[in-house]
Amino acid sequence: MPNMNPKKCPMPEQAPDVRNKNFEEVTLGYTAEMAVEEAQRCLNCKNKPCMTGCPVQVKIPEFIALVAEGKFLEAAAKIKETSALPAVCGRVCPQESQCECHCVRGIKGEPVAIGRLERFVADYARENSTEKAVKPESNGHKVAIVGAGPAGLTCAGDLARLGYEVTVFEALHTAGGVLMYGIPEFRLPKAIVQKEIDTLKDLGVEFILNFVVGRSETIDELFGDGFEAIFVGSGAGLPTFIGVPGENANGVYSANEYLTRINLMKAYKENSDTPIYHAKKVAVVGGGNVAMDAARCAKRMGADEVYIVYRRSEKELPARLEEIHHAKEEGVVFKFLTAPLEVLSDENFNVTGLKCQQMELGEPDASGRRRPIPVEGSEFVIDLDCVIAAIGTSPNPLIRHTTPGLETNRKGCIVADDEHGITSKDGVFAGGDAVTGAATVILAMGAGKRAAAAMDEYIKNKNK
Ligand SMILES: Cc1cc2nc3c(=O)[nH]c(=O)nc-3n(C[C@H](O)[C@H](O)[C@H](O)COP(=O)(O)OP(=O)(O)OC[C@H]3O[C@@H](n4cnc5c(N)ncnc54)[C@H](O)[C@@H]3O)c2cc1C
């Protein structure tokens, strides 16, 4: 008999007033008892609607049934059949718009907490499983992966399991991509990401760090080194600025730089020598996950006032619901229907404020969202000493500028087919944010997975 409680079993978390001063993980995860209780809410629907919402087709009802029986390691193995990074996805996937939004229990109550269960199972396996990945026998073929984000890591793992000699070239000094440099420790502890990377190393994947493809070596030079196929998962790390007067003042950051200093360069640690401005009044312009992360980091770095400045209404906020909820609880103030007009600064060129304008919503635009329209005579100033731009990113142009024959679109994204990641250049495959523009972890993983299968096929055909 299923547990018919209409609500999800709540997950313990740090109190807002405590957690907004530290970088420890906000949510604490289910205990085994909570996980079993929540798993018993699953109706095990025959047609598995939840799975249609998962870009990597995790066998959701099957793993949840195993949790309900207390078979946690078996549940972890079931998820691992299709997902390489469950501890990451359980924490950061937008479940409310993917698996959970298709859950039948969501019709008359809250959906089954699929994300929380996935996280529980992955954490349990990490802490209790003694199994260690083993390098499979080599098939003698060499492949290269550009970029060690979720797309590249997934592709690398799948190819290594098939026996390929896999080398990952990563521009930064740490592998993990946005999982390491963007998403903060309090949402995704870095030890969890590192553990996944260590598993790939056990599988025989070689990581070459501080290697910028396009500078250190071009894609064509990598082919010259004997790599038979190359996957480009270089992400979309180039920030877009707001485009208003005054934004080159001291105290204006891109969210990418701000978050990289804090997360990758550990500016939040007391003994860190990474320079960062400890601002007191901060406005973050934007409404996505990146904006929420920057705002919540600013609070933890000691800001008294932190604002989200967003030009549409709360309904259109693209961030995950959980991040919005947590940001509000932590004291971040949301200024909806507000657009920046100018960054104001003093005679030393230090930020003093942000001149803004009130907006109202008109007809839907090309994105399907209602277009913000300025309200005349509604200008006002927010006093600040820091402005963080979190209005989007695009792919860095280096690879497209140094790879003849690689087609890109007008947004600078590599053109690749969704099914296989095949690009216009023979032997080059691509996926993740480098192809789609800024998207999600699970979509990047899905693309890496499909490309790995296609690369295997490509190399086999070539060597027939
Ligand atoms: C702050 C922030 C918060 C986010 N929060 C969420 C969330 O909660 N949920 C969610 O699903 N998604 C979230 N996202 C989006 C998600 O992280 C990305 O969609 C995902 O990481 C894309 O994966 P990727 O592998 O394509 O690229 P990335 O993760 O960007 O990795 C690309 C890697 O390639 C490397 N690289 C780039 N150029 C080169 C080169 N020339 N040579 C060698 N290496 C190179 C980069 O250094 C990087 O390590 C967030 C993004 C940010 C920035």
**Ligand 1 site, CB within 6 A:** 92-94, 146-152, 169-172, 177-178, 182-183, 212-214, 233-235, 237, 259, 289-290, 293, 320, 396, 398-399, 432-434, 438-442, 444
**What does the pLDDT read at residue 464?**
86
**What does the pLDDT read at residue 1?**
76
**What does the pLDDT read at residue 132?**
85
**CA distances (Å), origin 300, targets 97, 326, 392, 405:** 28, 13, 23, 46
Question: Helix, strand, or coil here: 450?
Answer: helix
Q: For 295-313, what is each residue's pLDDT tens digit? A: 999 999 999 999 999 999 9
Ligand 1 midpoint to CA 455 (Å): 22
pTM: 0.95
Q: For 187-235, what is each residue's pLDDT tens digit? A: 999 999 999 999 999 999 999 999 999 999 999 999 999 999 999 999 9
Q: For 424-457, what is each residue's pLDDT tens digit? A: 999 999 999 999 999 999 999 999 999 999 999 9
* Percentage with pLDDT > 90 across the chain: 94
Report which of 42, 47, 203, 25 is spatially closest to residue 119, judged by C-alpha positions: 25
* Percentage with pLDDT > 70 across the chain: 100
Ligand 1 midpoint to CA 201 (Å): 20
Residues 6 or more apart whose CB falls under 8 angstroms from that of 47 comprise: none
Residue 278 backbone dihedrals phi, psi, to 5 degrees? -85, 80
Residue 131: band (very low, low, confident or very high) from pLDDT cuts 50, 70, 90: confident
* pLDDT(40) > 90: yes
| Rounded distance between C-alpha atoms, residue 251 and residue 462, angstroms | 54
Bridge-based pairing of strands 142-146 and 229-232 is: parallel
Ligand 1 midpoint to CA 430 (Å): 14
* pLDDT(84) > 90: no
Mean pLDDT of 67-92: 94
**What does the pLDDT read at residue 126?**
93
Tokens of 243: 């485009």
Of 27, 178, 213, 240, the one to substitute when testing ligand 1's pocket (max ligand atoms within 8 A of C-beta) is 178
Q: What is the mean pLDDT of the chain?
A: 96
Ligand 1 midpoint to CA 197 (Å): 15
**What does the pLDDT read at residue 366?**
83
**What does the pLDDT read at residue 369?**
83
Residue 411: band (very low, low, confident or very high) from pLDDT cuts 50, 70, 90: very high
End-to-end CA, the chain:
55
Residues 6 or more apart whose CB falls under 8 angstroms from that of 412 comprise: 238, 394, 395, 397, 400
* pLDDT(370) > 90: no
Ligand 1: nearest atom to the Cα of 89: 11
Ligand 1 midpoint to CA 98 (Å): 19
| Rounded distance between C-alpha atoms, residue 259 and residue 392, angstroms | 14
Report which of 68, 45, 60 is spatially closest to residue 95, judged by C-alpha positions: 60
Ligand 1 midpoint to CA 177 (Å): 5
Residues 6 or more apart whose CB falls under 8 angstroms from that of 269 comprise: none
Is 157 in contact with 135 (CB distance < 8 Å)?
no
